[in-house]
């Protein structure tokens, strides 16, 4: 029966045209138990559709009929002859809809866009496609986009939002709140780099080529980055912490990278040599740039004694744990100098020439005050070198101790390496004093109007508690509190209050300066310090701003009350201030 019915259907319909569809063949779909026709549309496309839908006229084409001029003409004619039906179905004409939308959305602001006008967009055949809007962006630029995109928030601006601070802040907040997604993204990228080494190399070549072809853009980019680093020190610290934490959590990544780099150096000795020659040539051709880099490095060492100390300790630990590697390195160095005797001689001659030309020019007057009398003659004659061992007087106990000259005094700059004369080994081990750059800045400022005696990092007066700067003639002590070491993770709530109270017991006025305050209200604090040194009973208070702290006046010292909790926040970590503002505000 099926075979007969199929033959009959073929005889009846194959080769015939229905609207835009011509039937070429017929078959039965056993799963659906229905007859299907293989049709070719007027546009040339072949489709498979149920035969009854094709023959009844329900299907006119493959879908292209709706976009045709024929359909547009029919639609226009129908709309012209059936306007009452259109109003019955939609309730409003097109003009009325546009007027309604304009009344509803014009002058409204969505994110960064203010709607100026709503207008319709049509297909080529005259059918309504959608409604678009003309908008004014926050940046002043006009833009056209879809109405539904603006209302839903899919489109927020003309495109400038993606480069804005708000977008970056939202993005960084998202990454902070979703560390798992960050890791997942990083792992995907790492996996892609692993699986596509050729593409990585190609990408690197493209990048280097772009940098060669666009030196002006590279300079502009580096200038912007430098400015960003200046304006965002907190973010830099945060980034470095996150990076170091990542490397701690993923030691294999660091090892793999180190192995790859060392392998590259092994496999490409010519490139390494070429690179070093280029670098040395660059420094030869630009002595000023080389001097600037040296100055920056020495400045960094000056301003970051904590990091210098930590690096030295880490290096000592590494040397202890890697004796074999250390020996191998030493052998390599000695072998290198054996194979290249000219290099060693040149380096030695340069150093000797430099010291011959500059030793007598050095101003060693600061060193003469602390050096042992036995070395004064040699120092004055310019015969001492950086590697010579000398004796200097400790600034705390006044005992003499041995130091290598280069470790305590920089002859090329005629100044102490860390800004102050050294301690003896005993005091250094007992006190572990490291002078911060802020502390030095405050001391330098006070020295501009007061020349009395200054005792630094004293731990005797308060029986173990340190006073950064103490002026005994004025009975004034100054304590600088960095945001990191003085936050709730390292100091108790009433730590600064108890210290202030302990100073009062010795009739000393303690001025506690916090890092955030110093960076943001420096001039006010400087004026307050000068007034206090001059005996003027002034006080300052920071309330409702970034900080929540007060500074004491001379009159209120005899009326110190109970501790009052005060604090401010840096990176969501609390820093508790002195807590005596209640008494000060009442005086």
Name 28's bridge partners. Answer: 35
The span from the CA of 46 to the CA of 25, in Å, is 11
pLDDT beyond 50 at 89: no
Q: How far apart are CA 49 and CA 37, in angstroms?
A: 6
How far are the Cα atoms of 262, 265, 280, 297, 504 from residue 274, in angstroms, in the given order? 17, 12, 10, 25, 66
pLDDT of amino acid 1? 34
Every domain of the chain and the residues it spans:
2-67, 90-159, 340-424, 435-586
Q: Is 566's pLDDT higher than 80?
A: no
Look at residue 300 and tell me whether its pLDDT is greater than 70. Answer: yes
Whether pLDDT at 152 is above 80: yes
- Dist. CA 515–CA 482, nearest whole Å: 5
**How do residues 433-470 score in pLDDT, each as one tens digit?**
444 678 888 888 888 888 888 888 777 788 777 888 89
Of 19-33, 191-205, 407-421, the one with minimum mean pLDDT is 407-421
Domain 90-159 has CATH 2.40.10: yes
The answer regarding whether domain 435-586 maps to CATH 3.90.740.10 reads no
Lowest mean pLDDT segment, chosen from 50-64, 146-160, 252-266, 440-454: 252-266
- Look at residue 546 in the predicted model and tell me its pLDDT: 45
Flag whether pLDDT at 583 surpasses 70: no
What is the per-residue pLDDT across 248-259, written as a single tens digit (0 to 9) for each? 787 787 778 888
Per-residue pLDDT, averaged over 105-113, amounts to 91
Least confident segment among 265-269, 413-417, 508-512:
413-417
Range from 36-40, 81-85, 244-248, 378-382 that averages highest in pLDDT: 36-40
Model-level pTM?
A: 0.29
Is 90 exceeded by the pLDDT of residue 40? yes
The predicted-structure confidence for 320-357, as pLDDT tens digits, reads as follows 778 777 778 777 777 777 787 777 777 766 666 665 56
- Paired with 134 in beta bridges are 117, 144
Summarised one tens digit per residue, pLDDT across range 392-412 is: 888 778 888 887 777 777 776
Paired tokens of 3: 């075979």
Is the predicted pLDDT of residue 536 greater than 70, yes or no? no
Say if residue 584's pLDDT is above 50: no
Mean pLDDT of the chain: 78
């Amino acid at each position: 029966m099926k075979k007969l019915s199929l033959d009959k259907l073929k005889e009846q319909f194959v080769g015939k045209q229905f609207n835009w569809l011509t039937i070429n063949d017929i078959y039965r779909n056993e799963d659906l138990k229905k007859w299907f026709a293989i049709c070719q549309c007027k546009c040339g496309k072949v489709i498979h559709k149920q035969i009854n839908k094709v023959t009844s006229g329900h299907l006119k084409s493959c879908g292209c009929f709706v976009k045709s001029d024929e359909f547009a003409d029919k639609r226009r004619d129908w709309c012209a002859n059936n306007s009452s039906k259109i109003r019955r179905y939609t309730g409003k004409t097109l003009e009325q809809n546009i007027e309604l939308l304009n009344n509803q959305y014009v002058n409204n602001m969505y994110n960064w866009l203010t709607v100026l006008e709503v207008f319709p967009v049509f297909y080529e055949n005259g059918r309504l496609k959608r409604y678009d809007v003309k908008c004014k962006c926050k940046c002043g630029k006009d833009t056209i986009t879809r109405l539904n995109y603006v209302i839903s928030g899919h489109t927020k601006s003309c495109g400038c939002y993606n480069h804005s601070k708000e977008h970056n802040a939202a993005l960084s907040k998202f990454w902070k709140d979703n560390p798992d997604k960050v890791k997942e993204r990083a792992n995907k990228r790492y996996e892609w780099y692993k699986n596509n080494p050729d593409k990585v190399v190609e990408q690197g070549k493209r990048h280097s080529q772009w940098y060669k072809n666009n030196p002006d853009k590279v300079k502009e980019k580096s200038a912007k980055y430098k400015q960003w680093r200046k304006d965002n020190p907190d973010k830099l610290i945060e980034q470095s912490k996150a990076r170091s934490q990542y490397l701690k959590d993923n030691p294999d990544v660091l090892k793999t990278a180190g192995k790859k780099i060392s392998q590259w150096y092994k496999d490409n000795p010519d490139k390494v040599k070429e690179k070093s020659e280029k670098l040395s040539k660059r420094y030869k051709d630009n002595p000023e740039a080389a001097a600037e880099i040296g100055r920056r490095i020495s400045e960094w060492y000056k301003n970051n004694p904590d990091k210098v100390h930590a690096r030295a300790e880490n290096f000592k630990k590494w040397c202890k744990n890697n004796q074999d590697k250390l020996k191998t390195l030493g052998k390599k160095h000695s072998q290198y100098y054996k194979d290249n005797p000219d290099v060693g001689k040149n380096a030695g001659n340069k150093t000797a020439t430099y010291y011959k030309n500059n030793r007598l020019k050095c101003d060693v007057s600061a060193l003469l005050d602390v050096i042992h009398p036995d070395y004064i003659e040699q120092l004055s004659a310019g015969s001492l070198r950086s590697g010579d061992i000398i004796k200097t007087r400790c600034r705390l106990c006044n005992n003499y101790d041995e130091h290598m000259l280069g470790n305590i005094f920089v002859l090329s700059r005629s100044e102490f390496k860390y800004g102050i004369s050294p301690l003896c080994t005993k005091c250094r081990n007992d006190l572990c004093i490291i002078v911060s750059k802020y502390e030095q800045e405050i001391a330098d400022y006070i020295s501009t109007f007061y020349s009395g005696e200054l005792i630094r990092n004293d731990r005797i007066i308060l029986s173990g508690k340190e006073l950064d700067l103490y002026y005994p003639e004025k009975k004034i002590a100054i304590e600088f509190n960095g945001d990191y070491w003085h936050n709730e993770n390292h100091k108790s709530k009433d730590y600064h209050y108890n210290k202030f109270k302990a100073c009062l017991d010795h009739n000393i006025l303690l001025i506690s300066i916090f890092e955030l305050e110093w960076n943001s209200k420096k001039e006010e604090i400087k004026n307050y310090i000068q007034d206090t040194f001059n005996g003027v009973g002034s006080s300052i208070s920071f309330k409702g701003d970034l900080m929540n702290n007060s500074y004491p006046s001379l009159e209120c010292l005899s009326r110190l009350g109970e501790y009052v909790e005060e604090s401010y926040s840096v990176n969501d970590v609390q820093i508790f201030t002195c807590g005596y503002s209640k008494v000060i505000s009442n005086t």
